[in-house]
C-alpha cells in the first residue's frame, strides 16, 4: 500500500529464460487487482470515503457535542445509534461490491498457463507468470500477458487470434513470428533461447508496438504484427509459444481499463451543499438565541439568582450565552436528521430490487435478469443526457446473415405479401446434401431459379464460391467448417454453399468446389486483394474448359464506375435495389465479372509480376495494375447481408432521442461498418440534412474539417430559416479548401459545394456558442480514431465538442478503449451533463468506469463489462425501460422524498426556535425527548419511505409512450436550490402556525371545570399532535400512487403516535420508571378537551388549505406535462367505459398500414457498402504460408509467388491512407430540404401498424387540445421509425401544425389506447409561457402553432 512507485520506464529490456536478470528491473507481476480494499485497508479507507460526505462529518461533530453534559439537553444515543447504523450499512454494501471484484480478480489470476521452466513445461497460475518467461498457448485459450510470438504449429510461424475483448471486433486476425525464431518449435530449442528484447515502455496503444530483438549478434525489428496481447483468444491454431514482454497492470488491456472510481449522484453533491447551508443557518439561529440568552440573563435572569442560580461552571451571562449556543445547536440539529441518510439508502435499495425483479427486463433466451450492481446511482438514471454505446455485441448480435440479393435485375428475398401467411423457411437438404442446416432463407423463387439452371444465377453463386479468402476444413465427409477472416465472407460463402455451389478446399494454386453435385477444380491465377482504399477484391481463375475469368465484389460506389457501358440499364435497376437494401440497413456488395483472353492475361500477369517485385512504391504500382484489369466488367448483381441488430434497438434509440437523450456510438470497427449500423438502427437517416466525415491525419486538417462542418451547419440552418445574411459570421480561421461537403449523389458522383470566399478584411472567428445553439436541422458526425486522437488534444477539444454537440448523432470509429473514456470525460468536464456508457466487452470497461453510470451487456464478449458496470442486463432494448421507467421514477421519488423530508423537519425543529423567545432562551425543548427521538424514526418515517419507494406520477406504460416526461430530470426541475427553499419556507410557515395558533388559543383557554389550559405539558401535547397530523396529511397530498402499504403506513403512523403517547404517560410506566416519566395522564386529559381538538383542526386547516389552493391553481393554470397525461388518461378511460357500454363491448378498429421502407428516395442515394475484411489475406493464400503442403510442393510454388505479404502489412501500418476525394469514403446524405413531410396519422412511430382508438373516431377533443401541440422537430424525430412515408398533404396545410403522433412504444406487444407523443417544449411554450430552448421552424411560410391555437380552446 505504501510501497514507493518505481520511476517511469524509458525503455524495457527483457531477456528470455532469465528471471534473475529481469527481476532487477522490478517489472510488474502478472497479478491484476481491480478491487479497492483489502482486509487491512478496508476500515480506514472506507471510513475516510464515508466521512467525505459532509453529513457524516456533521453528525460526528454533533455526537462529540452531545457527549459534553454541560451543553447537551439530549441523550448521546439519539445520534450515535443512527450514525453507526448508516456507516455500517454503507460499509457492508461497499465490502460486498469489493468482494465480487476480488472474486473476479482471483478467477482470472488463478487461470492456468504452461510456462517453460528449466527446459520443461510446468503449469503455473497466471499471477505467477513473470516478464521474460516463455509460455505455451493452445487453441481457444486466452493470452495470459502481452507476449512476443516466437513460434507456432502453423507454417511460417503464423497464428490466428480473436481480439473481441480489446477492440470489439470478432474477425480473426493473423500474427506471425520473426522468421529467425519461427523454427524454434521444439521446447528444447526454446529452452536454449536467450534473445533480448528492447522495446517501448508500457502504454495503451493497441495498434502499435516498436521493439528490437537481439540474438546471436544480430538484431531484428519487431512490430505489432509479432505481438499477442492479453485478452486475445487463440483461434484455429493448435499451439504457439511466446515471450512475455508486459505483464499484469503493464499490459495494454489493463492500461486501457481505467481506474475504479467512487461515483456520486448529482443529488448527493447537491445535498452536501445544502447541508453546509443548513449548518450555516443553524449557526445563525444558534447565534440569535445565544444573544437572546445573554440579554435575558443580564436583564431578567439576574433577578432570579436567589432561587434559580446558574450552574456551577457558569459565572456570568456571556458564558451562559456561550453554553446556550451549543445547546441550541444540538436541539436544532434535527433540521437534517441522520435518519435522512438511512431513509435514502433504504429507498435506493428498494429501487434496486425493483430493477432486479422487473420481469420486462428479463431475457428468457439467455435466462438473465437485469441486475443493479450498485444502489447509489438509481436517481441518476432519471437525469441522463448523453449515452455512449459500443456497437458490436451491444447494438448488434454480431451475427451476419444472407438476407437479399439482386441477380440480373431480379431481386430475391423480399416478402411479397405482408398481409398473407408468413413464408416457410426453405429446406435445402433434399436439393443439396452439403447444405448448412443453420442457413435461413425464405424466398423459394431463388432456389427455383438455381434448379432450372438460370445462367446468371449460377454465375452469381459461382462468384461467391470463388471470390473470397475463406479456408475450409472438412472434419468428416460433408461436414464443412469455414474459417473466415470476416463474418461477411462466411455468410456469402455459406449462401453459395446452400444454393448448390459449395466451396470445398483450396491450395495456393487451385480452388475446388462442388457445383450442383459435381466436383469442379479451378486454377487460381491471382488474387487482387482487398483494402480500405480499393474497397473491392477480385480473383482471376481458369475454368476447366480453359477460359479465364475475373470475378470481382466490392462497394457499389467503386464497382459500378468500372462496368462496361452496355450494363447501363441493368445498373440502373440494380442501383434501385441497392437503394432499397441500404434503406433497410443491410450491408451491400456489388458483383461483376470479366472474361479475359489468353493474351490479356499474359500481358497483365507480366505487369503484375514487375509491380510485385518493385523495390519502391510497391503498393501504388500494384494498385495501378489492379485498376488496369478491373475495367469493362459485366454486372451480375448485388448481395445484401444483415448485421443483425439486437431486438428493439431502432425503437429504443428513437424513443430515447425523443426524450432528448443524445446517443454517441464509440466503436473499434471500421468506418463503413459503423455507418451502416448507424443507418440500420436509425441513428442516421436519409432525411438528415448532412453527415460530416472527419478523417484528417494531422491536427491542422482535423481543425479545418471541424470548422468547415460548423460553418456548413450555420449556413444550412440560415438557409432553412430563410435568412441568408451573415453567413460568414461563424466561419473559422481557415479558407475553404480540402474537405468538400456532400450534398447529393447521383450515379455514384457527388455534387460539390464550396464555401463562399470570405472577405479579406473581415476576421473569421470560430462559430460562437450562441450561433451553434441556434442551429436547426439534423446533422451527424462520423470521426475516425486517428482524427479523434487529434481532436481530444487540449487546444482542439472545444472545437470538437461544439461541433459534435450540435449534431443529432455522433459515431466515432476505430477508437481505442482509452479514447472511449476520454470522450466521456470530455462531456463530463464541459457539458456538466449526466453520462451513461453501455458496452459488453473488456474494451468498454474504461468507458463504463468513466461515465456517471456504467451499464454492462452480458453478451458474447465475456462478462468483463458486466463485472465493471453499475447495472447489467442482456439486451440493449432494456435501456429504454431502465431510464424512462425506473430512472424517471427513482428521480421523481427521491425528489419528492427530499422535499417532504426537509419540509417536515423544518416544521418540527423551528418550533423550538420560536419557543426560545418564550422560555428565557434556556434551551428548553417544546417536546419531550421521547417524542424528539421517535418523530423521525416512528411517527413520520414509514409514510415517506412508502412514498419514496412506491410513488409514481404516471404508469410505466405512459412513461414509455411519452418520452418527454423524462426531460424534467435532465433539467433538474424537481429538486434544486429553488425547490429546497420553497420546502423550507413551507416548513417554517407550518412551524409558525403550529406554535402561535396553540399558543394564542391555549393561553386564555380553560377546561370545562375552569382550570386553565395554559400549562407547558398541554401546549406540548397539542403542538405535537397537530404536527403529526399536519405532516401525515401533507404526505397524503404528496403521494400520487396509493398502495395498501401507503394506507397502512399513514394510518399506522397516526395510530402509533396516539398509542405510544398514551402509553408513555400511563400509570404503568410511571410505577416502573418513576424518575423517567413524570407527567402521568397529561396526554389523556389534554386530548379529552374539545378546545384542544378545535385548535388542532384550525392549525391543520391553516397549514393545508393554502397548499391545496396553490396546487389547484398550478394544475389549472400552469400544468406540468405529467398533469396533462394523467388528465388525458382519466378522460379516455371514462369515455372508453361509455363507448363499451353503448356498443355492447364491441370495438371498431381502423385498418392498419403495412410496414414499408423508410422514406421515399429521390435522385440522391447512399451506399450500403460495409465489408469487415482485412488486407493481406489474398497474398497469404497465394503464398501458401497458411497451408500444410509437402515441402517439395511448397518449394515449387514459392518460387513463383511473392512471399512479402507480411511486409506489405507492416508497411501499410506505417503509411497514412490519403483522404478520399470522392464520395467513396462515406454514405452520401440526401440534399438539404426546407420542408418536412408530415407523418401519417395511421402509421405507428415504431414502424408497425397503429390501431386508431374509438375515441378518435368519435372526435373526442376534451383532453386532446394540449396533446395536439407537437412541434415539427418532434414530428421529424418520430419519423425516424415511421414504416411508410405519408403522402404529401394539401398545400394549405402547414408543416408546423400539430399532428397526432401515435404511441411511441409498445413493449411486449401491449396495446395502449389514447397514448400520444408530446413535445414538452411546445406544451411549455404555448401553455406555460416557458421558453427553455430555442427551436427553429422548418417552414417560415406557415403560421406558428402558438398563433393558431390558444390555450383556452
Catalytic residues: 390
For residue 857, the surrounding DSSP H or E stretch is strand 853-857
Alpha helices by DSSP H, listed for 1144-1271, are 1177-1183, 1191-1198, 1205-1213, 1254-1257, 1264-1267
Residues, the chain: 1353
Helices 888-916 and 977-1002 sit at what angle, rounded to 10 degrees? 40
For residue 159, which of 167, 151, 169, 147 has the smallest C-alpha distance? 151
Nearest to 1103 by CA among 1017, 1035, 1006, 1021: 1035
CB-count exposure of residue 259 (10 Å: 0-12, 13-18, 19+): exposed
How many Å apart are CA 1074 and CA 1067, to the nearest integer?
10
Work out the angle at residue 755's Cα, subtended by the Cα atoms of residues 749 and 757, and round it to the nearest 5 degrees.
135
Which three cell numbers mark 1160?
421515399
Instruction: Pick the closest to residue 154 from 1340, 1184, 1258, 1214 (CA basis).
Output: 1184
User: Alpha-carbon Rg of the chain, whole angstroms?
Assistant: 37
Q: Which residues of 559-594 are buried (b: 16+ CB within 10 A; e: fewer)?
A: bbebbeeebeebbebbbebbbbbbbbbbbbbbbbbb
User: Which residue(s) pair with 152 in the sheet?
Assistant: 240
DSSP bridge partners of 427: none
> Is there a contact between 810 and 781 (Cβ–Cβ < 8 Å)?
yes
> Within 10 Å of residue 359's Cβ, how many Cβ atoms?
9
Beta strands 853-857; 871-873: pairing state? parallel
Is the CA virtual torsion 356, 360, 361, 366 positive or negative? positive
CB 19 within 8 A of CB 198: no
Q: How far apart are CA 1119 and CA 1127, in angstroms?
A: 10
Q: What is the 3-state secondary structure (H, E, C) of 1010-1026?
A: CCECCCHHHHHHHHHHH
* Cβ pair 1124, 1266 in contact under 8 A: yes
Alpha-carbon gap, residue 1239 to 973, rounded angstroms: 31
Instruction: Select from 1283, 1302, 1282 the least CA-distant residue to 1155.
Output: 1283
Q: Which helix (H) or strand (E) holds 115?
A: strand 112-117
DSSP letters, 175-208, are EE--TTTTT--SHHHHHT---EEEEPPP---TT-
Spatial strand order in the sheet of 536-542: 410-412, 396-407, 634-645, 587-596, 548-554, 536-542, 518-528, 510-515, 501-507
Name the grid cell of 1181: 493464400
Q: How far, CA to CA in Å, does 1283 sit from each of 300, 1153, 1250? A: 84, 9, 11
> Please, which residues have CB within 8 angstroms of residue 1133's CB and are 6 or more apart in sequence?
none
* Element containing residue 592 per DSSP (H, E): strand 587-596
Distances (CA, A) of 947 to 267, 899, 1052: 18, 12, 14
Contact yes or no for 464/551 (Cβ under 8 A):
no
What one-character DSSP code corresponds to residue 762? S
What is the C-alpha to C-alpha distance for residues 1104 and 1239, in angstroms, rounded to an integer?
47
- Give the separation between CA 843 and CA 427, rounded to whole angstroms: 40
Amino acid at each position: 500500500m505504501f510501497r514507493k512507485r518505481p520511476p517511469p520506464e524509458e525503455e524495457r529490456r527483457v531477456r528470455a529464460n532469465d528471471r534473475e536478470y529481469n527481476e532487477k528491473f522490478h517489472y510488474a507481476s502478472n497479478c491484476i487487482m481491480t478491487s479497492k480494499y483489502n482486509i487491512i485497508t478496508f476500515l480506514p479507507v472506507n471510513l475516510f470515503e464515508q466521512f467525505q460526505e459532509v453529513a457524516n462529518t456533521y453528525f460526528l461533530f454533533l455526537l462529540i457535542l452531545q457527549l459534553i453534559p454541560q451543553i447537551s439537553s439530549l441523550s448521546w444515543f439519539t445520534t450515535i445509534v443512527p450514525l453507526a447504523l448508516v456507516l455500517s450499512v454503507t460499509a457492508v454494501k461497499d465490502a460486498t461490491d469489493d468482494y465480487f471484484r476480488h472474486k473476479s480478480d482471483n478467477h482470472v489470476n488463478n487461470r492456468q498457463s504452461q510456462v517453460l521452466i528449466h527446459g520443461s513445461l510446468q503449469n503455473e497460475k497466471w499471477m505467477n507468470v513473470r516478464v521474460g518467461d516463455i509460455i505455451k498457448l493452445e487453441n481457444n485459450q486466452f493470452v495470459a500477458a502481452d507476449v512476443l510470438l516466437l513460434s507456432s504449429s502453423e507454417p511460417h510461424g503464423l497464428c490466428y487470434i480473436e481480439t473481441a475483448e480489446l477492440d470489439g471486433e470478432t474477425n480473426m486476425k493473423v500474427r506471425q513470428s520473426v522468421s529467425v525464431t519461427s523454427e524454434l518449435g521444439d521446447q528444447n530449442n526454446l529452452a536454449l533461447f536467450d534473445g533480448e528484447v528492447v522495446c517501448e515502455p508500457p502504454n495503451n496503444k493497441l495498434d502499435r508496438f516498436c521493439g528490437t530483438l537481439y540474438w546471436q549478434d544480430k538484431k531484428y525489428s519487431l512490430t505489432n504484427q509479432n505481438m499477442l496481447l492479453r485478452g486475445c483468444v487463440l483461434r484455429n491454431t493448435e499451439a504457439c509459444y511466446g515471450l512475455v514482454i508486459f505483464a499484469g497492470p503493464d499490459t495494454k488491456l489493463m492500461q486501457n481499463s481505467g481506474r475504479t472510481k467512487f461515483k456520486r449522484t448529482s443529488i448527493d453533491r447537491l445535498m452536501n451543499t445544502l447541508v453546509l447551508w443548513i449548518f450555516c443557518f443553524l449557526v445563525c439561529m444558534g447565534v440569535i438565541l445565544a444573544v437572546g440568552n445573554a440579554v435575558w440573563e443580564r436583564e431578567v435572569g439576574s433577578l432570579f439568582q436567589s432561587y434559580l442560580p446558574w450552574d456551577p461552571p457558569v459565572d456570568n451571562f456571556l458564558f451562559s450565552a456561550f453554553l446556550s449556543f451549543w445547546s441550541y445547536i444540538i436541539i436544532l440539529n434535527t433540521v437534517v436528521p441522520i435518519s435522512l441518510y438511512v431513509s435514502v439508502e433504504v429507498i435506493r435499495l428498494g429501487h434496486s430490487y425493483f430493477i432486479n425483479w422487473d420481469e420486462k427486463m428479463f431475457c428468457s433466451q439467455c435466462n438473465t435478469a437485469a441486475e443493479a450492481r450498485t444502489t447509489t446511482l438509481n436517481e441518476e438514471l432519471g437525469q441522463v443526457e448523453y449515452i455512449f454505446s459500443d456497437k458490436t455485441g451491444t447494438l448488434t448480435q454480431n451475427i451476419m446473415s444472407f438476407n437479399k440479393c439482386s441477380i440480373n435485375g431480379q431481386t430475391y428475398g423480399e416478402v411479397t405479401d405482408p398481409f398473407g401467411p408468413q413464408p416457410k423457411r426453405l429446406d435445402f437438404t433434399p436439393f443439396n446434401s452439403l447444405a448448412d442446416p443453420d442457413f435461413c432463407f425464405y424466398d423459394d423463387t431463388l432456389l427455383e431459379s438455381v434448379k432450372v439452371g438460370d445462367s446468371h444465377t449460377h454465375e452469381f453463386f459461382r462468384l461467391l464460391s470463388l471470390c473470397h479468402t475463406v479456408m475450409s476444413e472438412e472434419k468428416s465427409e460433408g461436414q464443412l467448417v469455414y474459417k473466415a477472416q470476416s463474418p461477411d465472407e462466411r455468410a456469402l460463402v455459406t449462401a453459395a454453399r446452400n444454393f448448390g455451389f459449395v466451396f470445398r478446399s483450396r491450395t495456393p494454386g487451385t480452388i475446388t468446389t462442388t457445383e450442383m453435385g459435381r466436383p469442379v477444380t479451378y486454377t487460381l491465377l491471382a488474387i487482387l486483394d482487398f483494402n480500405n482504399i480499393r474497397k473491392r477484391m477480385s480473383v482471376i481463375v481458369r475454368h476447366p474448359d480453359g477460359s479465364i475469368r475475373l470475378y470481382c465484389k466490392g462497394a457499389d460506389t467503386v464497382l459500378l464506375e468500372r462496368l462496361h457501358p452496355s450494363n447501363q440499364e441493368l445498373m440502373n435497376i440494380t442501383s434501385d435495389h441497392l437503394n432499397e437494401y441500404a434503406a433497410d440497413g443491410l450491408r451491400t456488395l456489388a458483383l461483376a465479372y470479366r472474361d479475359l483472353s489468353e493474351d490479356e492475361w499474359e500481358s497483365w500477369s507480366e505487369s503484375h509480376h514487375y509491380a510485385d517485385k518493385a523495390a519502391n512504391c510497391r503498393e501504388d504500382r500494384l494498385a495501378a495494375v489492379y485498376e488496369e484489369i478491373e475495367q469493362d466488367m459485366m454486372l451480375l448483381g448485388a448481395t445484401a447481408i444483415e448485421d443483425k441488430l439486437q431486438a428493439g434497438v431502432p425503437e429504443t434509440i428513437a424513443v430515447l432521442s425523443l426524450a432528448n437523450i443524445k446517443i454517441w456510438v464509440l466503436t473499434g470497427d471500421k468506418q463503413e461498418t459503423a455507418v451502416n449500423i448507424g443507418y440500420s438502427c436509425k441513428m442516421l437517416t436519409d432525411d438528415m440534412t448532412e453527415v460530416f466525415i472527419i478523417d484528417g491525419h494531422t491536427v491542422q486538417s482535423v481543425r479545418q474539417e471541424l470548422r468547415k462542418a460548423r460553418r456548413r451547419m450555420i449556413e444550412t440552418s440560415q438557409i432553412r430559416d430563410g435568412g441568408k445574411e451573415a453567413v460568414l459570421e461563424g466561419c473559422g480561421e481557415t479558407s475553404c479548401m480540402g474537405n468538400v461537403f456532400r450534398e447529393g449523389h447521383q450515379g455514384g458522383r457527388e455534387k460539390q459545394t464550396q464555401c463562399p470566399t470570405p472577405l479579406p478584411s473581415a476576421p473569421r472567428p470560430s462559430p460562437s456558442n450562441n450561433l451553434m445553439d441556434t442551429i436547426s436541422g439534423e446533422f451527424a458526425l462520423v470521426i475516425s480514431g486517428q482524427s479523434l486522437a487529434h481532436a481530444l488534444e487540449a487546444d482542439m477539444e472545444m472545437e470538437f465538442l461544439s461541433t459534435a454537440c450540435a449534431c443529432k448523432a455522433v459515431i466515432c470509429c476505430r477508437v481505442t478503449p482509452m479514447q472511449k473514456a476520454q470522450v466521456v470525460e470530455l462531456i463530463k468536464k464541459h457539458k456538466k451533463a449526466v453520462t451513461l456508457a453501455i458496452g459488453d466487452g473488456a474494451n468498454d470497461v474504461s468507458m463504463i468506469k468513466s461515465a456517471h453510470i456504467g451499464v454492462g451487456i452480458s453478451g458474447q464478449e465475456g462478462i468483463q463489462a458486466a463485472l465493471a458496470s453499475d447495472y447489467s442486463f442482456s439486451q440493449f432494448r432494456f435501456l429504454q425501460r431502465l431510464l424512462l421507467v425506473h430512472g424517471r421514477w427513482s428521480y421523481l421519488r427521491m425528489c419528492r422524498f427530499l422535499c417532504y423530508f426537509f419540509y417536515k423537519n423544518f416544521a418540527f425543529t423551528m418550533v423550538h426556535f420560536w419557543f426560545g423567545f418564550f422560555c428565557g432562551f434556556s434551551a428548553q425543548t417544546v417536546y419531550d425527548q421521547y417524542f424528539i427521538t421517535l418523530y423521525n424514526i416512528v411517527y413520520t418515517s414509514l409514510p415517506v419511505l412508502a412514498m419514496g419507494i412506491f410513488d409514481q406520477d404516471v404508469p410505466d406504460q405512459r412513461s414509455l409512450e411519452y418520452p418527454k416526461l423524462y426531460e424534467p430530470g435532465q433539467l433538474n426541475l424537481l429538486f434544486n436550490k429553488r425547490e429546497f427553499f420553497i420546502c423550507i419556507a413551507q416548513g417554517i410557515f407550518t412551524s409558525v402556525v403550529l406554535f402561535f395558533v396553540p399558543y394564542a388559543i391555549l393561553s386564555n383557554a380553560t377546561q370545562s371545570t375552569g382550570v386553565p389550559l395554559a400549562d407547558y405539558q398541554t401546549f406540548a401535547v397539542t403542538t405535537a399532535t397537530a404536527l403529526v397530523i399536519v405532516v401525515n396529511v401533507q404526505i397524503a397530498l404528496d403521494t400520487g400512487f396509493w398502495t395498501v402499504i401507503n394506507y397502512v403506513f399513514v394510518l399506522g403512523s397516526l395510530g402509533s403516535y396516539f398509542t405510544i403517547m398514551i402509553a408513555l404517560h400511563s400509570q404503568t410506566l410511571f410505577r416502573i420508571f418513576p424518575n423517567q416519566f413524570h407527567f402521568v395522564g397529561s396526554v389523556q386529559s389534554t386530548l379529552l378537551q374539545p378546545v384542544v381538538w378545535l385548535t388542532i383542526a384550525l392549525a391543520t386547516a391553516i397549514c393545508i388549505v393554502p397548499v391545496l389552493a396553490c396546487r389547484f391553481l398550478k394544475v389549472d393554470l400552469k400544468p406540468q406535462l405529467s398533469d396533462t397525461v394523467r388528465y388525458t388518461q382519466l378522460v379516455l378511460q371514462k369515455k372508453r367505459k361509455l363507448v363499451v357500454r353503448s356498443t355492447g363491448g364491441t370495438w371498431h378498429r381502423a385498418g392498419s398500414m403495412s410496414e414499408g421502407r423508410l422514406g421515399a428516395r429521390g435522385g440522391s442515394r447512399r451506399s450500403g457498402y460495409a465489408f469487415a475484411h482485412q488486407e493481406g489475406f489474398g497474398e497469404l493464400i497465394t503464398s501458401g504460408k497458411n497451408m500444410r503442403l509437402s515441402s517439395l510442393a511448397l518449394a515449387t510454388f514459392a518460387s513463383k509467388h511473392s512471399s512479402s505479404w507480411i511486409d506489405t502489412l507492416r508497411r501499410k501500418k506505417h503509411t497514412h491512407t490519403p483522404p478520399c476525394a470522392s464520395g467513396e469514403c462515406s454514405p452520401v446524405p440526401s440534399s438539404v430540404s426546407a420542408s418536412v413531410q408530415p407523418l401519417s396519422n395511421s402509421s405507428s412511430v415504431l414502424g408497425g401498424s397503429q390501431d386508431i382508438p374509438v375515441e378518435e373516431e368519435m372526435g373526442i377533443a376534451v383532453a386532446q387540445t394540449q396533446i395536439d401541440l407537437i412541434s415539427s422537430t418532434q414530428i421529424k424525430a418520430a419519423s425516424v421509425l415511421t414504416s411508410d412515408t405519408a403522402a404529401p398533404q394539401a398545400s394549405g396545410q402547414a408543416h408546423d401544425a400539430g399532428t397526432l403522433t401515435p404511441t411511441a412504444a409498445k413493449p411486449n406487444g401491449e396495446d395502449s389506447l389514447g397514448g400520444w407523443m408530446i413535445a414538452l417544449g411546445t406544451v411549455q411554450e404555448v401553455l406555460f409561457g416557458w421558453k427553455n430552448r430555442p427551436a427553429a421552424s422548418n417552414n417560415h411560410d406557415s403560421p406558428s402553432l402558438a398563433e393558431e391555437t390558444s390555450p383556452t380552446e
